[in-house]
Amino acid sequence: MANDDLKALIRTIPDFPKPGIQFRDITTLLLDAKGLAACIERMVAATRGPVDLVAGIEARGFLFAAAIAVPLKAGCLLIRKDGKLPGATIAEDYALEYGQDRIAMHADACATGARVLLIDDLIATGGTARAAVRLLRKAGAIVEQAQFLIDLPDLGGADALRADGVAVDSLVAFAGH
């Protein structure tokens, strides 16, 4: 596969944060200058059409969103956990395995009709990414594409986003969770 070089830079830590989980640690890729540059270049190349904003989901998504926004000549929009942004915000709730969480963005961060590319480091069940799409669309954005460094396809998040009308790209996939 074309991205096996990047996959080899991602460390797997077994049984973290709990038994049975295979944690995909991207810090090893971030430490590799050539790997990081290749990752950004490939994500930029996968972008379809012009975008006005690249939205990154807290926190690792921020790293990729900012780097991808520059060559796309787009702004960078931060999607954060509720209560972390200093201005007026809009928010969206989403379900967790046990309970709920909430993400937010500045109410004035996105003009109606803005074309937004959603970015995060990993998609698993898709709960946060789907909430981000709902939040952006609530603000009037056009969200038709999302990109991730890693997809865990067995958990169904990318398929759920596709069902929401979002084209999904990822550079690498890992089986299991």
Please pick, among 60, 115, 134, 137, the residue that the annotation labels catalytic.
60
60 as an active site residue: the answer is yes
Q: Token pair of 166, please?
A: 């979002």
Residue 165 · residue 129 · CB < 8 Å: no
Q: Are 105 and 85 in contact (CB under 8 A)?
A: yes
First to last CA, the chain: 21
Q: Give the H/E segment covering residue 57.
A: strand 53-57
DSSP assignment string, 62-112? HHHHHHHHHHHT-EEEEEEETT--SS-EEEEEEEETTEEEEEEEETTSS-T
Q: Which of 11, 41, 80, 97 is catalytic?
A: 97
Tell me whether residue 92 is one of the annotated catalytic residues: no
| Catalytic center residues | 60, 97
